[in-house]
Amino acid sequence: MAGQAPSAAPTFAELLKRFREEARTSQSRLAESAGFDHSYVSRLESGNRTPTREAVVKLADALGLTPEQRDTLLAAAGYMPQRVESLLADEPVVSEVLQLLQRRDIPEPIRQNVRQMLRLMVTQAQLAAIGWPSGPDTSPDAMAAD
């Protein structure tokens, strides 16, 4: 709907509860499977407790989550996912570039050219973010030549 703000990403507590409910298991059963006390899972789901990275992984394993779901849970808890590509799930083009740069059948000079283009794009985006003027004679190189 027009004018509606995009919904915020779910919190760790919300995601844990959703994954647990999708697995059709109780807090007690999840806690037991992951090696925790029932009250720990309850506090996590209520947002009254922050998990360690190890706890998130144990809970994900106990729930039988896919690697993507586990990484989503890790990110929601504030931890780096186990697979970096998970951070790029909403940016398919960036994922493709990452995969391209990791391919060893692409000659190194070509991969270096791609890296150089990416650096230039990042610089341009950073300049745009700070309000650098745009136009044919307003690039950093052109202005430095003045």
Segment 53-80 mean pLDDT: 93
pLDDT tens string 104-135: 898 988 888 888 888 888 888 888 888 876 55
Q: Which residue, among 52, 53, 58, 83, has the nearest Cα to 68 in the 3D structure?
A: 83
More confident residue, 81 or 54: 54
Q: φ and ψ at 36, to 5 degrees?
A: -120, 165
pLDDT value for 145: 54
Give the DSSP H or E segment for 37. none
pLDDT exceeds cutoff 90 at 53: yes
133 CA to centre of own chain: 31
Distances (CA, A) of 23 to 7, 13, 51, 89: 24, 15, 20, 23
Query: Does pTM top 0.75 for this prediction?
Result: no
Instruction: For the domain covering 12-83, report its CATH number.
Output: 1.10.260.40
Do 85 and 46 touch, CB atoms closer than 8 A? no
Domain ranges of the chain: 12-83, 92-145
**Phi-psi domain of 81 (left: phi exceeds 0; alpha: psi -120 through 50; beta: other):** beta
Of all helices (H) and strands (E), which one includes residue 41? helix 38-46
Q: How far apart are CA 60 and CA 29, in angstroms?
A: 13
